[in-house]
Amino acid sequence: MKFLEALSKTIVPAKLREDIAPEFGSYSGDPDSDSHLYRSLTSGARDLNELRLARSANIAYWLWLTSPYAKRGLDILSDFILGTGVVIEAKDPKTKKVLEDFWYGKPWCFEQKANDFLNVLHLFGELVLPFEVNTKNGSVSIAYIDPANIEAITINPKNALEMSNLKVKSIDKPFVIINDAEKAVEDGVIEGVFLFQINKIVNAVRGSGCLLSSIDLLASLDDFLFAEIERTMMLRNFIWDITFEGASESEIKKWVSDEEKKPPHPGSIRGHNEKVTWNAVTPDLKTADSQNIFKILFNSVAVGLGVPEHWLGGPGFDINRATAQAMNDPIFKRLQWRQKYVKSMFELMFDFVLANAVKYGYETGSIKDADDNEVGGKVDAKTNLEYQLGFPEISPKNINELADVLTKITTALGVATMNGWIENNQASSIVQSFIEKDMGIELPEAEKALKENQPVY
């Protein structure tokens, strides 16, 4: 049996939201019809109740596994934020060594699993990373807890911004939530969790995933596409309609039931008189509106995911290069903001790692600086702990357009210097600043030193 034919016979439209997966059984429905009126004592006034939160998370996960648009949407977010990877820079080689040991540590290795962790954050709206500090050398190890296992999060009733403890199912002792790295080290916290949340208002206790607003739309789009597959399979089928002029019903039945009267094979020859007419009949299912329905659903899904439709690999209704570029700007701004949050996530963990390294005297071993000098040893209060995290640029630069702008700038500056409106060194500074900041091209120091009266045109 052909794949599409088999698929069309097994899909039952509009059932995804009720019957999404076998593992969904424990959350298959609310035990009481009025359960939506109640919430857990540990949840906030702006949170979904526990059953609905679990249900939405499971449906979102199933959609991510099965819907190409859901997976594509979340992959885009992670790919733009992390891109080619995160670069760690530090002035002191010992500081860089401590951070790299943590970054590449096993089995959590952020170099390999950062994208997976980010997918979890986008999918469920929460990322829970428990940690343990080795008091012998100050090293920090990381683990992972599924947000579905969160039983309660304790917040300050006088300040919803302060989260202090996280209770995990089947574990009696609550975890301390790290909000301030240095204070946590001063307080001697050696076990706890890093809790990161998105898509929540300030007085909500739980975060929510990026697919939550599009769950019904994604499910409806899947239902629609599978229904269209079934429709397409029906359109590909046909029957032979044979007209017998003057034949009785019994004669027609006898002729049709005759085993020798088989449908003609391709390339075969058949003959009949003027009283028998053969017609191949195909169904007419009126598919003219299918494209418009798909367009509405597809655009709604793209809006819910916060990305332009052409990013999802859509058919590109009424999209050209100019409009596509204009549609990119809002999502770039949003991605830049999300990237700042992800950067702050790593900075919180890195600050905690460095503070523990100083407190417990982390031994870096044998390392050398840029001049090949031996600089390894213990990390202490004299170690320069400054570092920088380099993330890929969200908005790609159009070098051709920037080059045109640079040409116009240099022409205008040339006229300005010739008329004495600005000095040559001021014009030089403007050009260098544009090349480095806007075009992203770093100029070597030797090329920056322009002669004082050298014209810029």
Q: pLDDT tens, 36-90?
A: 455 554 555 666 667 778 888 888 888 888 888 888 888 888 888 988 889 999 9
Q: Is a pLDDT exceeding 70 seen at residue 314? A: no
Residues 6+ apart with CB under 8 A from 126: 120, 147, 150, 195, 196, 197, 198, 206, 207
Please give the residue that has the higher pLDDT: either 161 or 141. Answer: 141
pLDDT at 21: 38
pLDDT of amino acid 357: 94
pLDDT at 290 over 80: no
Handedness of CA 343, 310, 230, 265 (dihedral sign): negative
Per the CB < 8 A criterion, the answer to whether 359 and 138 are in contact is yes
Per-residue pLDDT at 354 exceeds 90: yes
- Residues 323-343 have a mean pLDDT of 81
Burial (CB < 10 A; 0-12, 13-18, 19+), residue 353, is: buried
pLDDT over 70 (residue 364):
yes
Q: What is the pLDDT of residue 317?
A: 56
In single-letter form, the type of residue at position 149 comes to N
pLDDT at position 5 = 46
Judged against a pLDDT cut of 70, whether residue 377 lies above it is answered with yes
At residue 318, the pLDDT reads 62
Distance between CA atoms of residues 381 and 11, nearest Å: 64
Average of pLDDT values for 430-437? Answer: 81
Higher model confidence: residue 17 or residue 361?
Answer: 361
More confident residue, 356 or 329: 356
- Residue 439's pLDDT is 66
| Least reliable range by pLDDT among 16-25, 188-197, 248-257 | 16-25
